[in-house]
Amino acid sequence: MERIMSDTNSERLSSVEATKLAAVLCQRLALRRSVPLLAIKGDAFMALGIRPLRPASDLDVLVSPSFHKQFCADLEGSGWELRSDDLGGHYANHSSTYFNSQWPVDIDVHHRFPGFSGDTQKTFDLLWEQKQTVKIANQDIITVSELDARIIQALNCLRNPWKPLDQAEFHFLIENTADHLANQLSDRGIALSCLAEIRPFLLSLDPNLDLIDWPQESAEWRAQKISSSVGALRIIDIIESPFKDKVRLIKSAMFPSTRSLISKSMGEFTMDSNIWAKLNLGWKRCRQFIKDAPKTFTALRRYYGRSK
What value does the mean pLDDT take over residues 271-286? Answer: 64
DSSP annotation of 42 = H
Q: What is the CA radius of gyration of the chain?
A: 20
Residue 66 has pLDDT above 50, yes or no: yes
Contact 261, 278 (CB under 8 A): yes
Assign residue 18 a region (left: φ > 0; alpha: ψ between -120 and 50; beta: otherwise). Answer: alpha
What b/e sequence results for 221-257 when a residue is b if at least 16 CB atoms lie within 10 Å of its CB, and e otherwise?
A: bbbbbbbbbbbbbbbbbbebbeeebeeebeebbeebe
Q: How far apart are CA 306 and CA 68, in angstroms?
A: 35
Assign residue 231 a region (left: φ > 0; alpha: ψ between -120 and 50; beta: otherwise). Answer: alpha
For residues 209 and 180, the model is more confident at 180
pLDDT-based confidence at 118, cuts 50/70/90? very high
Residue 178 has pLDDT above 90, yes or no: yes
What residues are paired with 140 via a beta bridge? 135
For residues 234 and 99, the model is more confident at 99
pTM of the entire structure? 0.83
SS3 category, 77: helix
Model pLDDT for residues 228-248, shown as the tens digit of each residue = 667 777 777 777 777 777 776
Q: How far apart are CA 287 and CA 290, in angstroms?
A: 5
Domains contained in the chain, CATH given:
2-220 (3.30.460.40), 227-304 (no CATH)
Report the pLDDT value the prediction gives residue 176, as an integer from 0 to 100.
97
What value does the mean pLDDT take over residues 181-199? Answer: 96
Report the pLDDT value the prediction gives residue 12, as an integer from 0 to 100.
77
What value does the mean pLDDT take over residues 119-148? Answer: 97
pLDDT-based confidence at 100, cuts 50/70/90? very high
Residue 308 has pLDDT above 50, yes or no: no
Q: Alpha helices, DSSP H only, in 1-109?
A: 2-10, 15-32, 42-47, 68-77
Model pLDDT for residues 139-175, shown as the tens digit of each residue = 999 999 999 999 999 999 999 888 899 999 999 999 9
Report the pLDDT value the prediction gives residue 88, as an integer from 0 to 100.
58
pLDDT-based confidence at 191, cuts 50/70/90? very high
Contact 59, 42 (CB under 8 A): yes
DSSP annotation of 210 = G
Contact 50, 28 (CB under 8 A): no
The closest of 191, 113, 122 to 159, measured between CA atoms, is: 113
Residue 137 has pLDDT above 90, yes or no: yes
Pairing type for strands 81-82 and 95-100 reads: antiparallel
